[in-house]
Structure 1
Amino acid sequence: MSSPRLTVLAGPTAVGKGTVAAWIRHNHPEVWLSVSATTRPPRPGEEDGVHYHFMSGDEFADKVASGEMLEWAVVHGRASYGTPRRPVEEALAAGKLPLLEIDLQGARQVRASMPQACFVFLAPPSWDELVDRLVGRGTETAEERAVRLETAKVELAAQNEFDRVVVNDDIRRAAEELVSLMKSH
């Protein structure tokens, strides 16, 4: 059997990356999900070390400076997000099926350092559905939503940079398609 490849899942804000990843986490224990680090405060129900590694700006900056982040970015001009490098490398070395759920900027950084990874774009069924999901989430102010929607337009235009596109029209279907892709490479 060949060694597993890292799979990178990216897509626009509110497309459901976290929801698809959570479905995979609960239904596919053979998939190892990377836990990103962030400087943003936790949303209701989020747990440190499970959903994100929540850290201060200084702690995050120290990890970036020491090369401990596989990728990182300031997202929506506000909070920093990044992927700790060591757990990803350890998962690959252990033969696990690793999945990174990150934003477009991060996916581009990973492509530069790990071009052998498989890059999957999670797309909404339509623009209107993406707007409805963002508004329905209720976690951002109107100003933050406007910033995220402008970012989403840029992110949607980048689909052709990815190896595959999965449409998130149904969480279970999209998750199963993604896991099937992961197992096939």
Structure 2
Amino acid sequence: MTRKQPDSTTDANAELHMARRGLLYIISSPSGAGKTTLARRLLAADRNIAMSVSVTTRPARPGERDGVDYRFVDADGFESMKERGELLEWARVFDNHYGTPRAPVEAAILAGKDVLFDIDWQGAQQLSEKMPGDVVRVFVLPPSGPVLEERLRVRAQDSPETVARRMAAASSEISHWPEYDYVIVNSDLETSVNSALAILTAERLKRARLLGLSAFVRDMRAVL
């Protein structure tokens, strides 16, 4: 009888019930390159990874929900979280602040759950310094400069002045690509999604993350 293969949403070692340490999957890109869309598709395709909900001082955009897309706080509240050590990382992006709450991320990692981050290079650097063995860093590049500008204009969420400012910042942001483990050129969304999923599968199989591997091999050898 042919054994049924697990679907694409199945964790790599779920059938073995092997203990695994979770990972922090970071996706960064200049604004408009597609990291948010890619992150949403990754969440939809794999039920074993959850989005990290960042805290931010920027106003909510149409359709965004507090506690789901972001936790929206004022500047004083954000500063208080920093002072109490409640943020793993934080950064100022244009005129607003963004940060990652510490407690839910650390709890997820210890429980063997994966956490997805849609953050910039500053946040990626800080997470890499604090949790170096847990991070997987993916940088998303646009296929070209003109395509990036067109994407920013089409999404119609920002003023022409903001679009120009984001384009001016893109070159500096892109210069940080060598700091990442993987690079995806987002010219075709489906191809990019498949690449992101392949990275996730490979990283879950890394020996250092499989906490139950030694016991599994020991038990196997005992009956050989």
TM-score by length of 1: 0.93
**Structure 1 segment 34-53 matched on structure 2, within 5 A:** 34-53=52-71
| Residues 124-146 of structure 1: per-residue CA shift (max 9 Å, x gap) | 11111111111111111222112
Number of aligned residue pairs:
184
Q: Is the 8 A contact 1:97 1:182 kept in 2?
A: no
**Where does residue 10 of structure 1 map in the other structure?**
28
CA displacement 1:124-179 (0-9 Å, x = unmatched): 11111111111111111222112211211101111111111012223333223212
Query: What corresponds to 1:97 in structure 2?
Result: 114
Q: In the aligned structure 2, how far is the partner of 1:95 from the partner of 1:114?
A: 15
Query: Which structure has the greater CA radius of gyration?
Result: 2
Deviation at 1:31, TM superposition (A): 1.1
**Where does residue 102 of structure 2 map in the other structure?**
85
Q: Tell me, what secondary structure is at the counterpart of 2:23? A: coil
For structure 2, the residue ranges without an aligned partner over 5 or more in a row are 1-17, 204-224
Counterparts of 1:168 and 1:75, CA distance in 2: 22
The one-letter code of the counterpart of 1:112 is E
Task: Please list the CA deviations of residues 102-130 of structure 1 after superposition, one character each: whole Å capped at 9, or x if unmatched.
Answer: 01111111122122211110111111111
Which amino acid in structure 1 is aligned with residue 49 of structure 2?
Answer: V
Match of 1:110 among 119, 122, 127: 127
In structure 1, list runs of 5 or more residues that go unmatched. none
RMSD: 1.4
* 1:161 alignment counterpart: 179
Contact kept? 1:37, 1:82, Cα under 8 Å: yes
For residue 26 of structure 1, report the CA deviation from its aligned partner. 2.3
**By how many angstroms is 1:63 displaced?**
0.7
Higher relative contact order (CA 8 A, sep 6+): 1
Partner letter of residue 29 of structure 1?
A: R
Three-state SS of the structure 1 residue aligned to 2:89 is strand
Alpha-carbon distance in 2 for matches of 1:171, 1:47? 25
- Matched residue SS, 1:3: coil
Counterpart CA distance in 1 for 2:183 and 2:36 is 16
Deviations 1:54-80 (A, max 9, x none): 11111111111111111111101x011
TM-score by length of 2: 0.77
